């Protein structure tokens, strides 16, 4: 039996003098790191690595279509329909740069979301129809396909927006659309009320995820365990069973498990939340899996952890459980051994992550 773990955010994105995982009891993870074959490879975007597990390759991935397919309690998108993610964001000036910040799920309520989406539909009916599957995950269903390269929201968060503008044949259309949406939302009563209450205003949308699903994804395992909608959408498009992560169930058959509890805290540099999430992963996953490998219940365990500083690749085989001379390797020592992410200056000519 094989288990593959995909854990974005496991590698803390910045180098620190005091290790970010210092003081945490991570014996299971240390055992896996010590027993397995590990390497840290160069940076590669998380969404590309996720898509490749499902047999999808290339720089342009239909992430909006896939995420929309993975939404809970929402009608499945019609075959052949074209989508953009149109997520609500906050734009603010920091020195001379316009920076973008996304919203946590609890920061926006359903009533606000519905009212703002209705306003956008009244203005942009010629382009398509906006809808909100959750208060912070909005979509634009297009009347017709578009030829444009747009940057994923995660790549832009916290960075100067000017480096991530649309590219391609329809770039001007979507740059104009985002500018107009910014004016509409900035002037809306809901945004003004948030601002007056000391809350971040919903003053723009970020469009991303363009593209069509030209070939169906391939099932990477007998089951996929995930909670994020892009992973769920990939699994549904591949026709593979998908359920929430559960270590007991994962140990019954070949599984791909996507654990994204650390992704947002790492992105937002929220160390306290990240450390609590890491402790939960140790309790629920690393310790039980280390024990399962030692008992021979798992033939091969693969761990893939994409991050800004690189990607940790780890493979642990049941055949190696008898190699007692391989000692545990502390996770904090691993983090300290990884070079810092390349510095991206605000005035750089192009973004570090490249278009997708």
Q: Is residue 252 part of a domain?
A: yes
Q: Tokens standing for 154?
A: 């995660």
Nearest to 352 by CA among 44, 5, 8: 44
Identify whether residues 80 and 185 lie together within a single domain: yes
Q: Is residue 240 part of a domain?
A: yes
Q: Is residue 346 part of a domain?
A: no
Q: Is residue 320 part of a domain?
A: yes
Q: Tokens standing for 35?
A: 């027993």
Identify whether residues 91 and 199 lie together within a single domain: yes
CATH number of domain containing 332: 3.40.720.10
User: Which pLDDT tens digits describe the chain residue by residue (356 residues)?
Assistant: 899 999 999 999 987 777 899 999 999 999 999 999 999 999 998 999 999 999 998 777 899 999 999 998 877 788 888 999 999 999 998 877 889 999 988 999 999 999 999 999 999 999 999 999 999 999 999 999 999 999 999 889 888 899 999 999 999 999 999 999 999 999 999 989 998 999 999 999 999 999 888 888 999 999 999 999 999 999 999 999 999 999 999 999 999 999 999 999 998 889 999 999 999 999 999 999 999 999 989 999 999 999 988 999 999 998 776 666 678 999 999 998 887 765 443 343 334 444 54
Domain count for the chain: 2
Question: How many CA atoms are closer than 13 Å to the CA of 352, on its beta-carbon side?
Answer: 20
Q: Is residue 129 part of a domain?
A: yes
Identify whether residues 48 and 144 lie together within a single domain: no
Nearest to 2 by CA among 298, 337, 266, 336: 298
Identify whether residues 92 and 202 lie together within a single domain: yes
Identify whether residues 91 and 194 lie together within a single domain: yes
Domain that holds residue 272: 2-56+216-337
pLDDT at residue 15, rounded to an integer: 78
Identify whether residues 128 and 178 lie together within a single domain: yes
Pairing relationship of beta strands 204-208 and 137-142 according to DSSP bridges: unpaired
Q: Is residue 291 part of a domain?
A: yes
Q: Give every CB contact of residue 199 below 8 A, 6+ residues apart in sequence.
A: 107
Identify whether residues 100 and 35 lie together within a single domain: no
Eight-state DSSP code of residue 144: S
pLDDT at residue 352, rounded to an integer: 43
Eight-state DSSP code of residue 164: G
Q: Note whether 137 and 87 are within 8 A (CB).
A: yes
Per-residue CA distances from 68 to 131, 138, 140, 201, 302 (Å):
10, 9, 10, 25, 28
Q: Give every CB contact of residue 45 below 8 A, 6+ residues apart in sequence.
A: 152, 155, 306, 353, 354, 356
Q: How far apart are CA 318 and CA 259, in angstroms?
A: 22
pLDDT at residue 36, rounded to an integer: 92
pTM of the model: 0.90
User: Domain end: 153, 179, 208, which one?
Assistant: 208
């Amino acid at each position: 039996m094989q288990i593959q773990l995909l854990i974005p955010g496991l590698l803390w994105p910045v180098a620190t003098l005091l290790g970010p995982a210092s003081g945490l009891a991570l014996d299971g993870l240390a055992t896996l790191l010590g027993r397995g074959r590990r390497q840290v490879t160069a940076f590669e975007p998380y969404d590309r690595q996720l898509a490749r597990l499902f047999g999808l390759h290339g720089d342009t991935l239909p992430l909006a279509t896939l995420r929309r397919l993975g939404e809970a309690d929402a009608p499945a998108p019609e075959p052949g329909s074209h989508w953009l993610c149109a997520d609500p964001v906050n734009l603010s000036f920091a020195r001379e740069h316009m920076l973008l910040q996304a919203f946590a799920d609890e920061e926006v309520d359903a009533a606000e979301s519905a009212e703002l989406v209705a306003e956008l539909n009244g203005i942009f009916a010629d382009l398509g129809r906006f809808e909100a599957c959750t208060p912070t995950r909005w979509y634009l269903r297009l009347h017709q396909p578009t030829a444009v390269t747009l940057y994923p929201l995660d790549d832009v968060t916290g960075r100067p927006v000017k480096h991530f503008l649309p590219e391609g044949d329809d770039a001007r259309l979507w740059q104009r659309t985002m500018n107009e949406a910014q004016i509409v939302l900035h002037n809306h009563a809901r945004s003004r009320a948030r601002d007056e209450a000391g809350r971040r205003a919903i003053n723009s949308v970020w469009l991303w995820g363009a593209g069509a699903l030209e070939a169906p994804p391939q099932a990477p395992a007998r089951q996929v365990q995930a909670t994020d909608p892009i992973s769920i959408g990939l699994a549904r498009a591949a026709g593979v069973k998908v359920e929430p992560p559960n270590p007991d169930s994962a140990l019954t058959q070949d599984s791909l498990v996507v654990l994204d509890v650390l992704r947002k805290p790492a992105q937002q540099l929220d160390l306290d939340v990240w450390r609590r999430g890491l402790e939960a992963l140790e309790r629920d996953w690393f310790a039980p899996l280390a024990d399962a490998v030692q008992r021979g219940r798992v033939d091969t365990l693969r761990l893939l952890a994409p991050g800004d500083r690189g990607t940790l690749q780890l493979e642990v085989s049941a055949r190696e459980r008898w190699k007692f001379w391989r000692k545990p390797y502390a996770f904090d020592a691993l983090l300290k051994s990884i070079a810092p992410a390349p510095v991206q200056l605000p005035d750089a000519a192009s973004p570090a992550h490249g278009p997708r």
